[in-house]
């Protein structure tokens, strides 16, 4: 199973004090015949930055968690269980399932009611071709003491699978503890754009608010 990683430097729209969040990137691979599986990563310049959550924060001047693109592919674990957080990602048959995660950790959790209005017939909420969550939570590391850090290859925040040739746009607000220990927020968005023989990435990241932790 081959994968191709694409990346672009993030556009920083505030002071250099927040520049430890550098970009968003993705890989694309063929995990399921006839589909493209995109893995979305956030890239930090300091290995001490700890990702805590991906949330919607339009009210605070940041971004909604949003998806727009091809119909998302979903698999059911053991044929019956929807997996929106990648808990069963390592099991056979779940390779291309679409899900959200904080660093691929099994302790990723959803805020109460998160995307409840987007629940599909199979019970999955990470499904469909379009959804948005503007405020009041998202998904998070339920054991932040374990930490999700960038060791050099980025922190995985989503796996999204669509029919081959379909495009996707995914974005949200990253909440993380910076190297200095501040609670910091960053808007990000990635869009896949088809081009002859390749894919290009448009990355957007904006930083602006922090609180002393």
Domain residue limits at 137: 3-212
Q: Which of 75, 118, 79 is nearest to 97 (CA)?
A: 75
CA distance 66 to 56: 8
CA neighbor of 191 nearest in space, from 179, 199, 183: 199
pLDDT 10s digits, 3-58: 554 543 333 332 233 447 778 999 999 999 999 999 999 999 889 999 999 999 99
Q: Is the pLDDT of residue 66 over 90?
A: yes
Distance CA 100, CA 87 (A): 10
Q: Which range (121-135, 152-166, 176-190) has the least confidence?
A: 176-190
pLDDT for the residue 17:
38
Stretch 116-143: mean pLDDT, rounded? 94
SS3 state of residue 204? strand
Sequence-distant (6+) residues with CB within 8 A of 75 are 83, 93, 94, 95, 96, 97
Of the pLDDT bands very low, low, confident and very high (cuts 50, 70, 90), residue 194 is low
Give yes or no for residue 62 having a pLDDT over 90.
Answer: yes
Task: Kindly state the average pLDDT of the residues 48-72.
Answer: 95
Mean of pLDDT over the chain: 83
Better pLDDT: 14 or 105? 105
Residue 10 near residue 23, CB atoms below 8 Å: yes
- Band (pLDDT 50/70/90 cuts) for residue 181 is confident
- The answer to whether 12 and 19 are in contact (CB under 8 A) is yes
Give the number of domains in the chain: 1
pLDDT of 213 strictly over 80: no
pLDDT of residue 108: 95
DSSP string computed for 75-104: -EETTTEE-SS-TTTTSTT-TT--EE-STT
């Amino acid at each position: 199973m081959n994968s191709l990683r694409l990346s672009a430097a993030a556009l920083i729209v505030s002071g250099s004090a927040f520049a430890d969040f550098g970009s968003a990137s993705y890989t694309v691979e063929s995990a399921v015949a006839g589909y493209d599986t995109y893995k979305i990563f956030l890239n930090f310049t300091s290995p001490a930055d700890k990702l805590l959550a991906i949330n919607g924060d339009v009210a605070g001047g940041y971004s909604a968690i949003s998806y727009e693109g091809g119909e998302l592919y979903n698999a059911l674990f053991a044929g019956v269980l929807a997996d929106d957080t990648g808990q069963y990602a390592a099991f056979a048959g779940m390779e291309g399932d679409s899900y959200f995660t904080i660093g691929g950790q099994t302790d990723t959790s959803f805020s109460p009611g998160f995307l409840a209005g987007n629940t599909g017939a199979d019970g999955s909420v990470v499904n469909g071709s379009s959804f948005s969550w503007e405020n009041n939570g998202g998904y998070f590391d339920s054991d932040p003491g374990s930490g999700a850090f960038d060791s050099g290859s980025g922190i995985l925040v989503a796996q999204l699978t669509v029919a081959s040739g379909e495009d996707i746009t995914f974005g949200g607000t990253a909440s993380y503890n910076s190297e200095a220990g501040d609670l910091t927020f960053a808007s990000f968005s990635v869009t896949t754009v088809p081009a002859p023989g390749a894919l290009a990435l448009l990355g957007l990241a904006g930083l602006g608010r922090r609180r002393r932790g």
